[in-house]
């Protein structure tokens, strides 16, 4: 079968990597469409250099913009590409605007959608990501959930057909690259003046934090009062806002440019604690055995909290400090994110998809000039 895989942001490149390999191994054809949602090379191009991921067949170059503008531009261009390419199915990942746009473009052309990382819920409808993932799940034909929790969330919404619990594809790729991290740490940490286990790694990019100067002030106070160096990897959009706010940071807080995927994992694995508002980084910290402070009031990765490796603090200064300083939790009794074979399981499942495809009305497909 021939699948179009649509990606546009950091987590999607990571998720696609093991699945792309697995799809090729079982004989599927694939077309990779990069929407350009993350247009900064440090946020996208490095993945195609560092990971065994084929270059995109299409790069739409949509770039940034308001949610409606960005999603609309993606819809228009994705529709044209899908009409030209006519894949048997479209594979989408996670919860970005690229995910939503691809799912909508496909179902309106009667092309079935497979959603990798289905069923996640933060139950916070003010987050654009929550809307994206809910809508995508309700239009998808096949839903691959990374956890049992995700499957139960789907069941509560009446979605039971086409659902499989496969484990998490991000764990697949993490297992593949982790042996390379120790060597990178020997070079990277001294270059940044860091000691293993002696610093906090921070990332902040969600508008609930970055668009609120007072929230960022509270976070800055927490980082400034931390008893160890804080390495703050600053998203390009966050950097622009911080320049406007003029927030003072402590001398031990270093604001650095985003790093590549492998260097980010290296910094995560060697940190004493990770402080973030990113969903993917929460999960990576858990899988790497590093305590995490999530500067949100909710999380879609509830297992990381249930096992004691993640605490939700919002932007509250004292809560962030307490989270950073808390003792290391006990090792988890099991890994709720699978066995590291999620991509193989998804690719094998898709081999049977041909019998479940809905017939497409060719009158709805418009030929491109």
**pLDDT band at 44; cut points 50, 70, 90:** low
How many other CB atoms are there within 10 angstroms of residue 128's CB atom? Answer: 16
Q: Are residues 111 and 239 in the same domain?
A: no
88 plus 207 within the same structural domain: no
Same domain, 49 and 121: yes
Residue 324, CA atoms < 13 Å, CB-side half-sphere: 27
Active site (annotated) includes residue 67: no
* Residue 20 exposure: Cα atoms within 13 Å on the Cβ side: 23
State how far the Cα of 275 lies from the Cα of 205, in Å rounded to an integer. 12
Does residue 331 lie within any of the structural domains?
no
> Distance between CA atoms of 195 and 198, rounded to whole angstroms?
5
Total domains present in the chain: 2
Residue 101 resides in a domain: yes
User: Is 333 part of a structural domain of the chain?
Assistant: no
Q: Is the pLDDT of residue 359 over 50?
A: no
CA dist 335 → 78, 148, 290 (Å): 36, 12, 14
Q: Are 221 and 300 in a shared domain?
A: yes
pLDDT in tens, 157-210: 999 999 999 999 999 999 999 999 999 999 999 999 999 999 999 999 999 999
Domain that holds residue 108: 2-168+338-364
The domain spanning residue 253 has which CATH number? 3.40.50.2000
Q: In the beta sheet, which residues pair with residue 310?
A: 292
Distance of CA 120 to the CA centre of its chain: 12
Q: Which residue has the higher pLDDT, 66 or 257?
A: 257
Helices and strands in the chain: count of H runs, count of E runs: 16, 13
Same domain for 36 and 142? yes
pLDDT category, 10, cuts 50, 70, 90? confident
Annotated active-site residue in 28, 38, 115, 205: 205
Which tokens hold the place of 222? 């927490």
How large a percentage of the chain has pLDDT more than 90? 84
Per DSSP, the three-state class of 293 is strand
90 and 116 in a single domain? The answer is yes
> Within a domain: residue 7?
yes
Cβ pair 33, 7 in contact under 8 A? yes
Do the domain assignments include residue 73? yes
Statement to judge: residues 318 and 356 lie in one domain: no
Termini Cα distance of the chain: 25
One domain, residues 117 and 253: no
Residue 113 has pLDDT above 70, yes or no: yes
Pick from 23, 1, 6, 2: nearest CA to 345: 23
Q: Is position 173 within any domain?
A: no
Q: Both 158 and 28 in a single domain?
A: yes
- Band of residue 37 on the pLDDT scale cut at 50, 70, 90: confident
Indicate if 56 and 136 belong to the same structural domain. Answer: yes
Query: Does 127 share its domain with 270?
Result: no
Q: State whether 273 and 302 are in the same domain.
A: yes
Q: Model confidence over 215-234: pLDDT tens digits? A: 999 999 999 999 899 999 99
Residue 309, domain member (yes or no):
yes
| 230 bridge partner residues | 200, 253
In a domain, 318, yes or no: yes
The reported pLDDT for the residue numbered 362 is: 40
């Amino acid at each position: 079968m021939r699948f179009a895989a649509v990606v546009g942001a950091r987590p999607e490149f990571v998720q696609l990597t093991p699945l792309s390999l697995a799809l090729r191994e079982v004989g599927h054809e694939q077309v990779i469409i990069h929407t350009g949602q993350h247009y900064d090379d440090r946020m996208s191009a490095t993945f195609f250099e560092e990971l065994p991921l084929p270059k995109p067949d299409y790069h739409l170059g949509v770039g940034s913009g308001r949610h409606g503008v960005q999603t609309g531009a993606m819809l228009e261009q994705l529709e044209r590409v899908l009409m030209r390419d006519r894949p048997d199915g479209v594979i989408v990942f996670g919860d970005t605007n690229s995910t939503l746009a691809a799912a909508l473009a496909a179902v309106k052309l009667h092309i079935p959608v497979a959603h990798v990382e289905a069923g996640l819920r933060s139950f916070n409808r003010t987050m654009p990501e929550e809307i994206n993932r809910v809508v995508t799940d309700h239009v998808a034909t096949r839903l691959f959930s990374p956890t049992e929790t995700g499957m139960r969330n789907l069941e509560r919404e009446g979605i039971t057909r086409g659902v499989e619990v496969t484990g998490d594809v991000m764990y697949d790729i993490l297992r593949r690259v982790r042996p390379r991290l120790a060597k990178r740490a020997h070079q990277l940490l001294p270059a940044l003046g860091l000691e293993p286990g002696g610093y906090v790694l921070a990332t902040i990019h969600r508008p609930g934090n970055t668009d609120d100067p007072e929230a960022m002030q509270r976070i800055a106070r927490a980082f400034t009062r931390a008893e160890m160096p804080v390495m703050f990897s600053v998203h390009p959009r966050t950097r622009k806002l911080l320049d406007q706010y003029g927030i003072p940071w402590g001398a031990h807080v270093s604001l650095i440019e985003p790093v590549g995927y492998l260097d980010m994992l290296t910094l995560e694995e060697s940190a004493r604690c990770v402080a973030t508002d990113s969903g993917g980084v929460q999960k990576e910290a858990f899988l790497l055995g590093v305590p995490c402070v999530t500067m949100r009031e909710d999380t879609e990765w509830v297992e990381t909290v249930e096992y004691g490796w993640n605490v939700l603090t919002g932007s509250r200064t004292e809560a962030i400090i307490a989270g950073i300083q808390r003792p290391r939790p006990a090792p988890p009794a099991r890994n709720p994110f699978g066995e590291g074979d999620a991509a193989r399981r998804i690719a094998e499942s898709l081999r049977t998809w041909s019998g479940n495809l809905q017939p497409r009305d060719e009158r709805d497909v418009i030929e491109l000039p």
